[in-house]
Amino acid sequence: MKLILTRFIMTTVLALTLSASSVFANLIESDVVARWRSDGLILGDESGDLKLDALVSRAEFMAFTNRLMGYNAKSPEVSAYKDVPRNAWYYDDVAKALQAGYIAGRSDAEMAPLDNIAKQEAVVIAMRIAGFDASNLNYSAPSEFVDIDLLSNWAKPYLIAALEKGVVKGENGRFNPTRPLSRMEVIDILDKINPFSPDYIAKNNGAASHENQTPEDFIDGDGSEDNPYVISTEAQLRGLAGKISSDGAFASRHYKLAADIDLRNEEFTPLPRFYGTFDGDGHIISNLRVTDAGLFSSGVFSTVSGGAIKNLGVRNALLKGEGQIGVIAGIFTGGEMKNCFVDGDLLIYAENDYAGGLVGYYAPTDAGLITDCYFTPSAESSITVGRNKNSLGGAGGIAGYSDGKIKNCYSSGVNFHGPACGNIVGIYGKKRLFENCLYITDFFTDPIGKKIPNDDITGLIEIPIGRLQTDTPLNGFDVNQWRFVKGKYPALSIFER
């Protein structure tokens, strides 16, 4: 099966330090786990626990790898594996792994997706994806490892080469090739081939050379804060996803809309792992459609892990996927979302956890803020979440899941379906950071679907629709940012130009 590796061939030797004792130290020193959480590559449970000591199955390893490398194409060959049922959570991830060519079944009909990933499997996959070709290398097995004969024949060329080059370390004189790996160890391995990591970008993409480079599709701007790239056409917006995927340096640049963009209800690829600045400048993206059922997170942005999304409106959207679905951002783990709104006809469907009007999963790792935003869909709109019986659910007007600060926002609600639904947020984590958030109860009565811990939360204000649709300014809402007209919902002034 052909490997799809051309984008990720590494020019430097990987430093895969795999001993259990060194992994934890490396994670602390490099803050790898925090970056993975920030990039939305790993999510905690409803209380935020990442369960880093838990062992990783082959299916979960495939899910991690697909998210990291951006693999979305699926192979029909998945149907040949009898232990990968169509309704399993890992079905799409196995299909993606097969299409990318980095995984093989235990037999023609057995994938063993729920078996733990073995150390030798993880190392070989990482080296293949990184572009190493060990098939013609003629290294002899190092004698210091007493269990070297336990390596599988298909793994030996890669692992022996890695050992000879000092890429892999043993564990007290052993390699332990069949030892299962924890989440923490898998993250440490895969991050070495992460095309969005700072080290990888610097070594392989030449990030510094892009400081003043203008992508061919952008006519104006250089991507700097003072002179952002200008997006004025549908083609430019659609093309940005590919640019970020092929060169992570573009994820941290600055962008500004110069016109309203109509996506014409044609399939859109979400902008991946963004931590720059995107200024809508009072313009609206309309008729958004993202319906790839295998996407881990989706919206205009797949993941926002820093920077700012501001002055942006989205009108009319059809979004379907596994989970972590938000019209503006599927996952939002850092930075600021300010002066944004979502309205019009909306249909949002998440098979598993978390769907929101603005954000699917909002859990900033450090500073994070959603402020001066609103959600006012049409009466026919709906958000459905948690059709999978094991799902936590979590659907909300502002966010499906929130463990961060939300300020001066309001939601008119929507037709919610599924467990843990709320007018503002579906599931709310340990932090209590609502400030002056308003909700009406015409569509849905509860501001929060589920609280962890289950105690009182302040800052949520129920308001009659007549009081919301008034020409009298609302308490706490800046009259320089908001416009109040009798009979209409409050609107952001930048969109009223």
The CATH number covering residue 240 comes to 2.160.20.110
Q: In this structure, what token pair is assigned to residue 312?
A: 């942006």
Mean pLDDT of 56-60: 94
Same domain, 340 and 425: yes
Task: For residue 111, give the 3-state DSSP assignment.
Answer: coil
Residue range 374-387, pLDDT digits in tens: 999 999 999 999 87
Same domain, 170 and 246: no
- Looking at this protein, which amino acid is placed at residue 63? A
Angle between helices 91-100 and 58-69 (to 10 degrees): 60
Give residue 1's pLDDT band: very low, low, confident or very high (50, 70, 90).
Answer: very low
Instruction: Give residue for tokens 């992570």.
Output: 248
pLDDT for residue 6 is more than 50: no
pLDDT for residue 471 is more than 70: yes
Distance of CA 408 to the CA centre of its chain: 25
Same domain, 250 and 181: no
Task: For residue 255, give the 3-state DSSP assignment.
Answer: strand
| pLDDT over 90 percentage in the chain | 50
How many alpha carbons fall within 13 Å on the CB side of residue 281? 14
Q: In this structure, what token pair is assigned to residue 455?
A: 């105690």
Total-model pTM: 0.73
CA–CA distance, 63 with 60 (Å, rounded to integer): 5
Same domain, 414 and 483: yes
Residue range 278-320, pLDDT digits in tens: 999 999 999 999 998 777 789 999 999 889 999 999 999 999 9
Give residue 7's pLDDT band: very low, low, confident or very high (50, 70, 90).
Answer: very low
pLDDT for residue 324 is more than 90: yes
Same domain, 266 and 354: yes
pLDDT for residue 463 is more than 60: yes
Same domain, 450 and 351: yes
Burial of 459 (0-12, 13-18, 19+ CB in 10 A): middle
Judged by average pLDDT, the poorest of 114-128, 337-351, 470-484 is: 114-128
The per-residue pLDDT for 205 is: 45
pLDDT for residue 22 is more than 60: no
> What residues contact 199, with CB distance under 8 A and at least 6 apart?
none
Q: Which of 167, 182, 203 finishes a domain?
A: 203
Same domain, 406 and 275: yes
Task: For residue 121, give the 3-state DSSP assignment.
Answer: helix
Greater model confidence, 300 or 125: 300
Neighbours of 31 (CB within 10 A): 12
Same domain, 214 and 196: no
Q: Is residue 1 part of a domain?
A: no
Angle between helices 119-129 and 183-191 (to 10 degrees): 20
Q: Is residue 33 part of a domain?
A: yes
Q: Is residue 295 part of a domain?
A: yes
Residue range 70-104, pLDDT digits in tens: 787 889 999 999 999 998 989 989 999 998 889 98
Which residue range forms the structural domain that includes residue 424?
210-496
Total count of domains within the chain: 2
Q: Which of 154, 188, 203 finishes a domain?
A: 203
Q: In this structure, what token pair is assigned to residue 80?
A: 């040949």
Same domain, 172 and 317: no
Average pLDDT value for the chain: 83
Q: Which of 147, 170, 203 finishes a domain?
A: 203
Residue range 133-182, pLDDT digits in tens: 666 655 566 666 778 778 787 887 877 766 765 556 778 888 888 899 99
Greater model confidence, 261 or 69: 261
Q: In this structure, what token pair is assigned to residue 301?
A: 């942005």
Same domain, 239 and 373: yes
Q: Is residue 99 part of a domain?
A: yes
Burial of 423 (0-12, 13-18, 19+ CB in 10 A): buried
Same domain, 297 and 167: no
Same domain, 231 and 132: no
